[in-house]
Amino acid sequence: MPLIDLTTFDFSQDLPGDGASPRRAATVRNDDAHAVLHVGVRSPAPWVEIYPQEFALAPLSVQTLVAELRPERARNSSLAPVKAALHAQYLAVGAQDAAALPPDVAIELSIVPPVASCPNCAAALPEGTRECRRCGERIRLCPVCGAPNTWIAHTCRVNATHILRTERDWTTSPGGRPARDGGETLPLGIQLARRWSSPAFPVTNAADALEWSAPLLTFGMVIAAAIDSVAGRAFIQSFELTTGAALWEHELSDARGLYPDRGAMSIDPTDGMLYAATLGGSVTAIDAIRGAIRWTSRVQGAVYGGVLTTPGALLVPADDSLFVLDRTDGAVRHVFRLGGRLDTAPTVENSAAFAACDDSHVYAFDLDHLTETWRTAADGPFNAAPIYHNGSVYAATMAGTVYAFDAATGAVRWRTLVTPKGVTASPALSPDGLLFVAGNDGFLHMISADAGNLIRSRRVSAAPLRTAPVCSGTTVYAGSDDGNLYALDADYTVHRIYETTPGARIASAGPALYGDTLACAATNGVLYVLRAA
């Protein structure tokens, strides 16, 4: 009989990380009646463990040799077939048996790893692949077990305790979430350095500059729309977040593109569908992972604010209307009529939508029943999207007053005048309950979200602040019309943390946050992606 009954340990049908570690066993035999068999074998790769690695067999005895799959030791490396060498030597029990010993034996053992399959279409994935050739799914290997996952996933599909990424997706601007109360609890800090930019430097002729919209940071990607006036086209482009490598580009049918100041896209973090609406009312749905178009639609009117996804619909503000579109095909399901032009993006919490209008009213709508819930007057028109948090809707008027409305009834809970020069950017809500309001007076105004008390005002710049601020821990970032990005730390000290070019300013929809990354678009035609230094 052979010394070992199995020379190939085949794990090809096992899914890495799926429950208990898969094992394969072989039997090693010593068929010699007069010699001891000494066996040694070593594990050829970190992801497979062979044991026992060294043993001795008495005459006419057997030993089980086990190969155990341990893909978590691969540490984000692909698993490739490997060979293990088994060496066996016969040792004489007595001196009289030394002359008749069998020769030493060397046997090659084959270890076949699991066949990686696409998490979307189940097609076999070649070793080391980062994109499925059948369906175009982008692949992220689990850093623990090596199992292939989609870029959308936060945890491994075969073991939910394996963390793929911890960053929160910034799916819309301003505010990062449908309620627009987003931010990061962990501080990014006041030392930022350029990770990359597109283009690398501003163009010499200002007329040649691209007009970028506010970017989205999702799934390890940067997605932004731009208008190229010289070429007479508009497009959406996706970049890899850490390197800036271009992933895909989609040219929009409407050359007017997205309104570069307040216009913003929206993405659903559960299925990766990206939605955008142009100034001319053309609405497009794109698979953000592949860059493939899913449908196009149209609404009547000019779209100045950003679109917003909800679990069952897509909201598009256009002229004096808020359109409710079916997300599956773009069909218009309902139109809410307002009393003036809707220049800002809506805000959503569950099935309630809120809109701040140029007719100096804030509106609330029931998306389940497609009815208007309430409308409440304010002291001026709005250029800033409202935010929702803990039962309140916060909105800032161009007259410089910040309001807190009861989300259920529309009753005014409090109102605070922060500046007579007006507010044109959405406030930001910090994790500790402060509203940071960027004013056209160059100040950041801090208000208690609960009580409406104006706690303090800090001058940031001599130029207006017309960019929605964002909060990262206790640090607040704000862009100024002087072309600089500023940070206000926990001690309310102002730091100039990044300079673009004189005369440029950050897009009003504001910067986006993702882990240790901040991205923003400037009017000098550059999309900046910065990282914590």
In whole angstroms, give the CA distance from residue 120 to residue 530. Answer: 32
The maximal CA–CA distance of the chain, rounded, in angstroms, is: 110
Q: Identify the top-confidence range among 38-47, 75-84, 204-213, 233-242.
A: 233-242
Q: Which residues, in sequence order, are bridge partners of residue 360?
A: none
The Cβ-side half-sphere exposure at 121, using a 13 Å CA radius, reads 12
Q: What integer is the mean pLDDT of 261-282?
A: 94
Q: What integer is the mean pLDDT of 426-451?
A: 95
Structure tokens at 524: 């000098």
Region class of 343: left (phi > 0), else alpha (psi between -120 and 50), else beta: alpha
Q: What integer is the mean pLDDT of 422-451?
A: 95
Q: What is the b/e burial string over 194-219, where b = at least 16 CB atoms within 10 angstroms of the residue's CB?
A: ebbbbeeebeeeeeebbbbbbbbbbb
pLDDT, residue 511, reads 93
pLDDT, residue 371, reads 97
Does domain 211-337 fall into CATH 2.40.128.630?
A: yes
What are 130-153's pLDDT values in tens digits? 889 889 999 998 887 778 899 999
* Residue 99 pLDDT greater than 80, yes or no: no
Strand ranges, E, within 18-171: 23-30, 35-41, 48-51, 54-57, 61-69, 82-92, 105-112, 139-141, 148-150
Beta strand pairing call for 221-228 and 216-218: antiparallel
Q: What integer is the mean pLDDT of 92-100?
A: 78
pLDDT, residue 20, reads 65
pLDDT, residue 189, reads 86
More confident residue, 65 or 207: 65
Q: How confident is the model at residue 16 (pLDDT cuts 50, 70, 90)?
A: low
CB atoms within 10 A of CB 308: 26
Q: How confident is the model at residue 76 (pLDDT cuts 50, 70, 90)?
A: low
Question: What's the chain's average pLDDT?
Answer: 92
* Residue 501 pLDDT greater than 90, yes or no: no
pLDDT, residue 15, reads 63
Q: Which residues, in sequence order, are bridge partners of residue 296?
A: 284
More confident residue, 418 or 262: 418
* Residue 184 pLDDT greater than 80, yes or no: no
Please say whether the beta carbons of 195 and 244 come within 8 A.
yes
Identify the burial level of 115 via C-beta atoms within 10 angstroms of its C-beta, where 0-12 means exposed, 13-18 middle and 19 or more buried: middle
Q: How confident is the model at residue 75 (pLDDT cuts 50, 70, 90)?
A: low
Q: What angle do CA 189, 177, 429 make, to 5 degrees?
A: 50
* Residue 201 pLDDT greater than 70, yes or no: yes
Query: Poorest-confidence range of 200-214, 287-301, 406-420?
Result: 200-214
| Terminal-residue alpha carbon distance, the chain | 65
Scan for tokens 């979307």, then name that residue. 120
Beta strand pairing call for 105-112 and 48-51: unpaired
* Residue 163 pLDDT greater than 70, yes or no: yes
Question: DSSP per residue over 358-404, as a string?
Answer: TTSEEEEEETTTTEEEEEEE-SS---S--EEETTEEEEE-TTSEEEE
Please say whether the beta carbons of 427 and 437 come within 8 A.
yes
Identify the burial level of 54 via C-beta atoms within 10 angstroms of its C-beta, where 0-12 means exposed, 13-18 middle and 19 or more buried: exposed
pLDDT, residue 74, reads 66
* Residue 80 pLDDT greater than 80, yes or no: no
